[in-house]
Structure 1
Amino acid sequence: MKCILSAGTALIALATCPLLAAAETPDPALQDVIIVTGHRTTTATDTALLPEAAPMDGMDITRLIARTPGAARIGNGEMSGQMQYRGLFGPRLNLRIDGHSFASGGPNLMDPALHYAPTPLVAAVHIDRGISPVSEGPGIGGGADAVFKKTDYANSSEATLGYDLMIGGRTVNDSLSTGGIIGASTDTWRANLLGAYEEGGDTAYKDGTIGGSEFQRSIQGLSTGLRTDLGEFSLDWRRHNTGFSGNPPFGMDIRFVDTDVVKASYEKSFGDILIEASASYTDAAHGMNTYDLRPAMMRREALAYAITRKADISATFPAFGGRLQLGADTAEEDHNIHVVEPENLDNYVYSLPDIVIDRYGAFAEWTGTLGAFNAELGLRVDEYDGKGGTAIFGEDASMGQKMLAASYNASDRRADATTVDAAARLWRPITDDLTWRITLARKPRAPFYLEWFQWLPSGSSAGLADGNIYLGDPSLDPEVALIAETGFDYVTENAYIRPTVYIRQIDDFIQGTPFDDTPGVADSLEEMMASMHGSAAALLRFTNVDARLYGFDLDAGMDLPGRLRADAVLSYVRGERRDLDEDLYRIAPPSLTAGLTWEGDLWSATFETRAVAEQDKVSQTLQEAGTPGHVTLSLYGDWQVKDGVRLSAGVENLLDQITRDHLSGYNRNAYGDVAIGTRLPGAGRGAFVRLSFVG
């Protein structure tokens, strides 16, 4: 069944259109979710969102994710937004696209994981509450899976046609977004084409425009499945092409991202044993430069390539009064990045040459009843082996680059790590309306390839966009987090509330720290090279420190007299260094989003308020600036025109407030009206409209 939501009820989509597990299975926490109209039951470990039901406040799916408890968006460009979840982001989260994870093309994550999930193609986003199951792979924080639309198998041998399409636009940047799927199926085969196209100009705000914030992206692909006596086979292919797209907080903008994704899967039940396997290949080519979308004192182009090869297999069967899944997986990431001066092709350097990270993992995950609780218990072991190739450079590369390259080439250029995950997620239904839950876990993360192998001082930082210069360290240890969280879900036909409190004690947390004991004094070759990036840039080395993250979040809502309904999301997270009296870097401030909805039979209207507190808990080591709080008002409407046709529209930021999101970077593009070095503002007042067709 397809959930029909108003824009207002979609404020908290997981409550107004939540999940039901398959009725025949006693443990709903581990089941594929089914969006069902008219129910507010939730599972203990998984929540879901419906992108089509949310306000169209941008092309990036992370804008939708940021509307959930504990989540926020890091805005590095319209095509480059990252998800932050309870203070963690980037490589620390287990992010999947249609159940599949792969390496981004570039070192600054201009194409982060969710870049590959355009809203017109996404059916739902599943959020891993608190932590991800070990069966989904490694990751120190929670995670998310953006599930693509696809034509499902039909109930008969006669072919059935279907489609799910949308078109929409926004005035704040004159943008267009359109796409969807068209396909056919029987009870033994399914196939659908998919495609999307999005483009927009510079984003407007009250005092002008944000220069170099335009974007363009297109995607095409195919999804197929075949059921036979030998099992079910599926094959998915997508081609992603991103054109000129701005990244104002970075030193460069996207010139292109051309990525091919191919995944083959197999599934077969042998009595009580379910066998699942998949293999995938992803090839991302990424070009970026300093001059197409901004004025440039120095013209530079960077070309980055990332190839990901993955394979996995698992068996699930009855054991110990529940279901046990045993699995193994492997992944190989190849990265190669070089920087060149376009007018002088002899001035180049391979800044991250032939970096290869191999990972081999195995896991066991059991679900069943443990005393008075339903339980998911997991154990996972991963072995990492990283190595760097030989740094090469052109004849006209600087002497400093040549000397640092020689030092890097003379080093061992290898790194390795072994990580062990252990997780216990427990939940207990007390009544039909109330479920208590608790999570205890040990979750590690191996260093990102930049953190291990970046030998040339560079602004590449996996999307931190802080203007600082970073160096890696092959001796870095993996991060290890001890996690505890608890909360409850109280859900009735007329009201719901789902609070959670949590703490993460992280040993060997990886963060940039001053390169030496004399920051600001260029008394080393590395610091002299870093000073070429500007006097405001600090040279930092990725280092193991100790950290703590703790917080509280909830979503809640209730029916009011008549046709009114109220919904709200509250998020609070605090990050601290444990080895210093200092706050962690780039942590989202407390926020509250609340909406009041009038629900008609076929239409609805929502008045929404978003309040964001000031953030003065900032990192002194990283010279992080605080941000003031702000409040914005928006109005949305939704009309079910007829079966299969739906129209949504609204006005965002009604009072045209100038907002400074703490997670946005600092502007480095001299075009437009935002001063260099100031935090980028949010979008000004603008209208959106979206039309959807399903059949």
Structure 2
Amino acid sequence: MQNLSLSAAAKPQRIFARHFLSLAVAVTLISTPAYANSTALETITVTGQHHPLLIETTLDPTQSSAPDMRNQLAQLPGISINGNGAVSGIIQYRGMFSDRVNVQIDGSVITAAGPNGMDSPLSHVIGSIGQEVTLYRGIAPVSVGAETIGGAVAISHIAPELTDSEQRTFSGGLSVSRFSFNKTHYSVSANAINHNTYISVIADKQTADNYRAGSSAGNGIVIPSSFYDRHGVKIRGGYVAKNYSIDGFVTARTTNESGTPTLAMDIIYIDALLAGLDYTQRLNNQWQLKTQVRANNNEHIMDNFTLRSNTNNAAYRENYVDSEGRSISIKASHIDAQWRSEYGVDWHTKEHYSNITNPNMAMFYLNNFNDVQRETASVYAQWEQEKSSDLQWLFGTRYSRISADAGTVDSNMAMMNPNVANLRDAFNTAQRSKLFDLLDVVGRISLPSNESSVWTLSAGVKEQAPIYQQIYTWFPLGISAGMADGRNYLGNLDLSKETAFKVDVSAEFTGLRWRLAPSVYWSQIDNYIMGMPSDNMSANMIAQMNNIAPPLIWANEDAQIAGFDVTYQYAFSDNWSLGITGQYVKGKQTGTIKQDLYRLAPFSGDVTLSWQQEHDSNSYGFILHTELAAAQNNVAELQNETSTSGYGVVNFNGYYQFDSGLKIQLVATNIFDKTYAPHLAGVNRVTAAQLAVGDKVLSAGRTVGLNINYQFAID
């Protein structure tokens, strides 16, 4: 098979011995466990010289009952998932989440329509077998993109590999999963490939009813708005010549009625379209030029009455939102025996519109976002040199200019309520056009102390501009970019950019059958944007008239985040393997109010025991996974955050792989039917349910399912 890479510069070389980080993740996540012999520690590859702390792994969505791979992603070091809904998971990395973590899907930064992240980047992944995840562990290099103050994660479908023949080869697969709670997942793929062209089609459909919580603490109650219904399709094609390649794709994802119990509304529908085109030109043996173009359109309706109980007709709310995103990036890469360098320019624009109505009151409307635009122009340079076997270093810098603007807004409430009129008029007459200049600088030194260990010191400055919700929310609403704390927020036109000073110390120690990779980090964030008590009299009066808590206003404060994460792997034999990951993060607001940062992951870890056996070209085995979390008592009182208890949950995956391409898997999560609430699951906002409003959203009880997967190839 011929790889699509054009040269050594097109794809960083793999280094197995020194930069492998997580066998435990590998055997849990890839479709065929990677520990059949003692050298299998090299199966999960981590790009070495170009990004020493870059983790690349392949996920198999069929190994979990979750529709968006959140369970597998949460086993990567430092990653947790904020669960606002079954299809609305938000990646948290080392204490930061939402737009602070740069999550790219097929090379695109998603322009979400929902102002609370209902259509988060994870929702745009088509759930077929073979998703490649790239985690930039620690401080993300500047080459990854602009505004990576909280880190970076990239998810894409595995690239097709060309054959050596002009004759076209056909391949594909079918995956069917059926789980408890009427949960059904289908996925199908088809590919046509020869020596220089390829085309592939991927489609999926995922549905589920409301699930029941565990019964270890009593009768398992039904969790409201935990259902979902969505489908998607992706078409991809490309051509590879001697000195250039073209790759293009179109992805369409439709989410029908799906619940988000931690938010004030549920999803009625989301129509998302993502398209991309890549052109790569090899200039000579050392230089390569790559151009990427992306387009993303999203249309979304949500409401608070169709899928949940609402007895107050006057309080019915339907929110129509849409968004558009366009981007282009051009980068030149150079590689020789001593140096690796990369130079690039990026441009990205986002547009947002949102209008709230009441179907029972034709006159009611609240135009909360109108003609919002946010544009990013960025340029960067990055150099890396391996001077000798004793020292490697990387240095990069990026300058970005962020411009934002918004049109005038209005609401029928302004005609009868002077407080609403005051807020509207103040916004419409204010200077809404904003400019932010950002500078990122990252340096890293890796120093092997001997053949079996290496130390890496990273330091950098990362900057982030306010997002549109933080600037342009003129009327106090529950819009928080997915924080889901139940508070109403007011935008602030005077916000400053965030500046983070970051330090990361990592190490890797290896033996014949084991590997240990700890990492310790610290960040000081100046002008950290968070909700503070509102001093806006009009907004506070509106809250008082509605008998609700005063809103919070986005404001610049200071904060510190520190913690560690670690991975450990041990291969007992050719068949048995153990993997352990752990993480701890502590975040404090250090400005005018001293409190813990909101919704941080507790001290947690994963223990994975794996076994595999081969027989007559077939293979079979199991994976026993234990998820552990300590109590989280470090909570943000201003956001009404409450503590959660610790827990331990055991999951099981057993499989039999036939050499014919047929694979059968038994998947069981929460085997002991434990009643528990992950801290990041948030609190319930759905009334008239078995789970009280304000209570932590409980996870599903025992879930058992079967996956049948068949892969084929026709020459």
Give TM-score scaled by structure 2 length: 0.89
1:243 and 2:235 equivalent? Answer: no
Aligned partner (choices 162, 178, 181) of residue 169 of structure 1: 178
**% identical aligned pairs:** 24
Change (3 A) 1:302 1:494: same
The AA in structure 1 aligned to 2:559 is A
Aligned partner (choices 82, 85, 109) of residue 74 of structure 1: 82
2:188 & 2:394 partners in 1: Cα distance? 35
1:108 Cα offset (Å)? 0.4
1:145 Cα offset (Å)? 0.9
Tell me the alpha carbon deviations over residues 283-313 of structure 1, each in whole angstroms, 9 at most, x when there is no partner.
1111100111101132110011110010111
Contact 1:40 1:491 in 2 (8 A): no
2:678 & 2:280 partners in 1: Cα distance? 44
1:11 and 2:11 equivalent? Answer: no
1:391 and 2:404 equivalent? Answer: no
Aligned partner (choices 274, 281, 296) of residue 295 of structure 2: 281
Aligned partner (choices 457, 473, 489) of residue 476 of structure 2: 457
Contact 1:308 1:333 in 2 (8 A): yes
- Of residues 526-535 and 274-283 in structure 1, the stretch that sits farther from structure 2 once superposed is 526-535
Change (3 A) 1:363 1:533: farther
Change (3 A) 1:533 1:613: farther
1:547 Cα offset (Å)? 0.7
Query: How many corresponding residue pairs?
Result: 670
Q: How does 1:81-230 map to 2 (within 5 A)?
A: 81-120=89-128, 122-138=130-146, 139-171=148-180, 173-206=181-214, 207-228=220-241
Tell me the alpha carbon deviations over residues 20-72 of structure 1, each in whole angstroms, 9 at most, x when there is no partner.
xxxxxxxxxxxxxxx98854664422113332177414112232211111111
Tell me the alpha carbon deviations over residues 555-590 of structure 1, each in whole angstroms, 9 at most, x when there is no partner.
112123684322111111111122243211111100
Counterpart secondary structure, 2:190: strand
Aligned partner (choices 565, 588, 594) of residue 601 of structure 2: 588
The AA in structure 2 aligned to 1:487 is S
Contact 2:330 2:345 in 1 (8 A): yes
1:534 Cα offset (Å)? 5.5
Contact 1:121 1:196 in 2 (8 A): no
1:325 and 2:342 equivalent? Answer: yes
Instruction: Give the match for residue 555 of structure 1.
Output: 567
1:396 Cα offset (Å)? 8.5
Aligned partner (choices 278, 299, 312) of residue 329 of structure 2: 312
Q: How does 1:241-640 map to 2 (within 5 A)?
A: 241-271=254-284, 272-296=286-310, 297=312, 298-318=315-335, 321-370=338-387, 372-394=390-412, 399=417, 400-516=419-535, 524-531=537-544, 535=548, 537-560=549-572, 563-579=575-591, 580-601=593-614, 602-640=619-657
Aligned partner (choices 69, 75, 97) of residue 61 of structure 1: 69
The AA in structure 1 aligned to 2:195 is D
Instruction: Give the match for residue 8 of structure 2.
Output: none
Change (3 A) 1:112 1:459: same
Gaps in structure 2 of 5+ consecutive residues: 4-21, 215-219
Q: How does 1:11-50 map to 2 (within 5 A)?
A: 11=28, 17=34, 39=43, 42=46, 43=48, 44-50=52-58
Instruction: Give the match for residue 656 of structure 1.
Output: 673
1:550 & 1:71 partners in 2: Cα distance? 14
Counterpart secondary structure, 1:595: strand
2:145 & 2:281 partners in 1: Cα distance? 21
The AA in structure 2 aligned to 1:443 is K
Contact 1:553 1:571 in 2 (8 A): yes
Change (3 A) 1:94 1:9: closer
Counterpart secondary structure, 1:119: coil
The AA in structure 2 aligned to 1:498 is A
1:167 & 1:131 partners in 2: Cα distance? 39
1:314 Cα offset (Å)? 1.3
Change (3 A) 1:204 1:142: same
Change (3 A) 1:493 1:11: farther
1:192 Cα offset (Å)? 0.9
Tell me the alpha carbon deviations over residues 467-521 of structure 1, each in whole angstroms, 9 at most, x when there is no partner.
10101112111111111111212234521111111111111111111113xxxxx
Tell me the alpha carbon deviations over residues 379-406 of structure 1, each in whole angstroms, 9 at most, x when there is no partner.
1000011111010334897524343212
Instruction: Give the match for residue 7 of structure 2.
Output: none
Contact 1:346 1:396 in 2 (8 A): no
Change (3 A) 1:99 1:428: farther
Gaps in structure 1 of 5+ consecutive residues: 19-34, 517-522
Counterpart secondary structure, 2:641: coil
Question: Aligned-pair RMSD on alpha carbons?
Answer: 2.7
Give TM-score scaled by structure 1 length: 0.91
